């Protein structure tokens, strides 16, 4: 399972090319030192040295670090320093010019990148560079029913049995799915940014955002698609948008308990509330509210904390 996870990342040419391009822009051959936080199989450190970094420091708490050291020997890459430890447990890190941490998930914050980079800034020399630099998160209503039908399988168990409680738990979850622009309300035109993070400064791990849509025609909304765009350095981005080049990441589907039928003139608001921390794990809540042209309101609140058995 572990090596398969790393295989999918290493097979992602879009991701790898973007990381290489970002490093190429910031490394001064023979001078720049680099720290790779969450090094995995060591690719970022290897690229840094191949691009002329004077030294690279690799931090990884998982056992894949043993493989990274073996791969470095196989490829005769010197100037690497391996730390088989989580970066937050390093008491006196060697100051470097560039800190890199590709700890992004399908849901951008699921690998706790805010906490990781917040701590990793202490690895930097004054004036040092953090990669990635910025993160934006986007959301759009889903008007295709294909994900909704998938989650309604509980209604089809049969034998006269009622699995509605299980169905409700299933809807209080986020799902990794490949979303297309055709699945969205008005295609990509409905996409809205709900969050923005600048990793060069302190960030609240509790992320909140609210967006609203007023459709131009009748529509039925079954849930919401969430994705992200990450600026590694200015001019070098990675995006998981439905219309972006495919990566090993997919989009996230946030269901609604019941589809929301919108008439022309109705407004649909969505509030997102996310807490992602190394100590507490990840919590995601989303609340959708329809405000009719006549002033009537309907509201649905979902929470992944309700989607798991205690």
Asked if residue 304 has pLDDT above 90, the reply is: yes
pTM of this structure = 0.96
What is the per-residue pLDDT for 67?
96
**pLDDT value at residue 310:** 55
Contact 272/139 with Cβ under 8 angstroms?
A: yes
- Residue spans of beta strands (DSSP E) within 157-304: 175-177, 192-198, 206-213, 219-233, 236-239, 251-262, 267-277, 281-291, 297-303
The two structure tokens encoding residue 78: 């010197």
Candidates 202, 23, 26, 198; CA nearest to 119 is 202
Q: For position 122, what pLDDT does the model report?
A: 96
List, in order of start, the domains of the chain with CATH numbers.
2-102 (3.40.50.150), 135-306 (2.70.160.11)
pLDDT digits (tens, 9 = 90+) for 286-301: 999 999 888 889 999 9
Phi/psi at 291 (nearest 5 deg)? -115, 110
pLDDT tens digit sequence for 5-16: 999 999 999 999
Band of residue 309 on the pLDDT scale cut at 50, 70, 90:
low
- pLDDT, one tens digit per residue, over 247-269 is 999 999 999 999 999 998 899 99
């Amino acid at each position: 399972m572990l090596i398969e996870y790393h295989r999918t990342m290493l097979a992602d040419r879009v991701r790898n090319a973007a990381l290489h391009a970002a490093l190429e822009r910031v490394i001064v051959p023979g001078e720049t030192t680099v720290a790779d936080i969450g090094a995995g199989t060591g690719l970022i450190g290897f690229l840094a040295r191949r691009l002329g970094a004077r030294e690279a420091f690799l931090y990884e708490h998982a056992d894949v670090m043993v493989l990274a050291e073996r791969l470095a020997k196989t490829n005769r890459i010197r100037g690497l320093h391996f730390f088989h430890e989580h970066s937050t447990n390093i008491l006196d890190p060697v100051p470097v010019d560039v800190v890199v941490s590709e700890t992004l998930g399908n849901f951008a914050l699921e690998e706790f990148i805010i906490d990781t980079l917040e701590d990793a800034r202490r690895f930097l020399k004054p004036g040092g560079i953090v990669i990635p630099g910025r993160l934006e998160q986007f959301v759009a209503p889903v008007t295709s029913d294909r994900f909704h039908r998938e989650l309604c399988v509980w209604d089809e168990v049969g034998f006269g049995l009622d699995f509605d409680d299980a169905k409700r738990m299933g809807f209080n979850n986020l799902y990794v799915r490949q979303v297309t622009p055709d699945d969205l309300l008005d295609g990509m035109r409905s996409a809205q940014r709900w969050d923005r993070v600048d990793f060069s400064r302190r960030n609240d791990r509790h992320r909140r955002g609210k967006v609203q849509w007023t459709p131009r025609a009748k529509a039925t909304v079954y849930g919401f698609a969430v994705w992200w765009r990450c600026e590694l350095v200015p001019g070098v981005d990675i995006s998981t948008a439905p219309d972006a080049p495919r990566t090993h990441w997919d989009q996230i589907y946030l269901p609604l308990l019941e589809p929301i039928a919108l008439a022309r003139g109705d407004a649909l608001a969505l509030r997102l509330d996310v807490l992602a921390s190394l100590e507490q794990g990840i919590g995601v809540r989303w609340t959708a509210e329809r405000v009719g042209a006549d002033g009537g309101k309907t509201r649905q609140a979902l929470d992944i904390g309700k989607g798991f058995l205690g």
